């Protein structure tokens, strides 16, 4: 049974745990939070759902516990929450401090461990995490534009009168304002005009702001998406997601984490080196250069 530690028991972390339980994931989940009383309350609430699953187990833990150090998978959701009107990148300095503090408390992790970043800005934190955790690049990745892609699918499904799970379409680039729809890989792209494509792309980019304005944060979508990624790891399913992965020249860049298509297995991620058309490559370049510019200015990102 795989051991999964979810760091951060707030809205996102607890919804990831809940989605894993509902999927009957064959795993022991440890939930960790800086607020121990809150963590204990979340565990009790989640345990009330265990009667409806056969395989999933859940318990609380501290970062320094041996069960945490020996975890097979770490899911990091802890961090400062994005406020209304605030972009994700503005969270970098505060959340990089939290990420370093987490690793310091855990100490050494298994060489085979997989680390999944959910905390924003996810692309920038993923880039730093691979160095902080001293693991192979394929073992450290972020949820990237997987939520954006899920969001895209239901908008396309409504337009095409289909079910969202029938749509195979993805969003690439930054999990943020420079993301873009991978239209050249979508078989029904010709059914949409240029204006319609631009409208859909803008909705996908900005919908999170609408959710945050209305209720403070997003958690249902990212909770379920992350549980699907975990399912692919635990079951070695090789599912394809658009994830924040460290580049090794696949699209013309090195040592920068950004949203690309990747297969997820029990070994981590394998980037799919699929072709982009000229316009998509241009948008990809813009996204990457935006991340590089921010990283260059980030003193705390330098180890």
pLDDT per residue over 176-196, tens digit each? Answer: 999 999 999 999 999 999 999
Annotated catalytic residue within 15, 22, 155, 175: 175
Judge if 130 and 163 occupy the same domain.
no
Judge if 158 and 108 occupy the same domain.
no
* Cα atoms in the 13 Å half-sphere on the side-chain side of 186: 24
Dihedrals φ, ψ of 272, to 5°?
-90, 115
**Domain with 169 in it: what CATH number?**
3.90.110.10
Instruction: Evaluate if pTM is beyond 0.85.
Output: yes
User: Is the Cβ–Cβ distance between 265 and 238 less than 8 Å?
Assistant: yes
Judge if 198 and 263 occupy the same domain.
yes
Return the pLDDT at 45. 98
Judge if 168 and 253 occupy the same domain.
yes
In the numeric block, which tokens belong to residue 190?
């010709």
Q: Last residue of some domain: 142, 163, 194?
A: 142
Q: Detail the DSSP E strand segments found in the chain.
A: 2-7, 27-32, 57-60, 73-76, 114-117, 140-142, 171-172, 180-181, 239-248, 254-265, 268-271
Rounded-to-integer distance, Cα 112 and Cα 227, Å: 20
Other CB atoms within a 10 A radius of the CB of residue 207 amount to 17
Is residue 175 part of the annotated active site? The answer reads yes
Residue 91's pLDDT band (boundaries 50, 70, 90)? confident
Q: Is 151 exposed, middle or buried (0-12, 13-18, 19+ CB in 10 A)?
A: buried
Judge if 29 and 137 occupy the same domain.
yes
**Domain with 61 in it: what CATH number?**
3.40.50.720
Domain count, the chain: 2
The SS3 of residue 223 is helix
Judge if 8 and 40 occupy the same domain.
yes
Domain coverage including residue 262: 145-301
What angle is formed at CA 87 by the lines to CA 287 and CA 230, rounded to 5 degrees?
Answer: 70
pLDDT at 88 over 70: no
Judge if 155 and 290 occupy the same domain.
yes
User: Is the Cβ–Cβ distance between 260 and 233 less than 8 Å?
Assistant: no
Judge if 245 and 108 occupy the same domain.
no
Judge if 160 and 131 occupy the same domain.
no
């Amino acid at each position: 049974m795989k051991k999964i530690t979810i760091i951060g028991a707030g809205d996102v972390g607890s919804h990831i745990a809940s989605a894993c339980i509902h999927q009957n994931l064959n795993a022991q989940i440890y939930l960790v939070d800086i607020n121990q009383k809150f963590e204990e309350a979340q565990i009790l609430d989640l345990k009330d759902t265990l009667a409806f699953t056969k395989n999933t187990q859940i318990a609380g833990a501290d970062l320094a516990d041996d069960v945490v150090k020996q975890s097979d998978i770490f899911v990091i959701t802890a961090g400062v929450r994005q406020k209304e009107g605030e972009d994700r990148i503005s969270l970098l300095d505060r959340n990089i401090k939290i990420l370093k503090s987490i690793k310091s408390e855990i100490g050494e992790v298994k060489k085979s461990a997989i680390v999944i970043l959910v905390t924003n800005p996810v692309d920038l934190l993923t880039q730093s995490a691979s160095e902080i955790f001293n693991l192979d690049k394929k073992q450290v990745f972020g949820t990237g534009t997987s939520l954006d892609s899920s969001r895209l699918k239901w908008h396309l499904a409504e337009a095409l009168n289909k079910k969202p799970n029938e749509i195979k379409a993805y969003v690439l680039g930054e999990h943020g304002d420079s993301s873009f729809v991978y239209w050249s890989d979508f078989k029904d792209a010709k059914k949409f005009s240029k204006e319609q494509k631009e409208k859909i792309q803008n909705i996908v980019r900005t919908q999170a702001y609408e959710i945050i304005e209305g209720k403070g944060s997003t958690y249902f979508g990212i909770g379920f998406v992350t549980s699907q990624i975990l399912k692919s790891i635990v079951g070695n399913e090789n599912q394809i997601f658009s994830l924040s992965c460290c580049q090794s020249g696949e699209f013309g860049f090195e040592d920068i984490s950004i949203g690309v298509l990747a297969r997820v297995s029990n070994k981590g991620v394998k980037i799919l080196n699929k072709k982009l058309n000229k316009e998509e490559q241009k948008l990809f370049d813009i996204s990457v250069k935006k991340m590089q510019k921010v990283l260059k200015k980030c003193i705390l990102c330098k180890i």
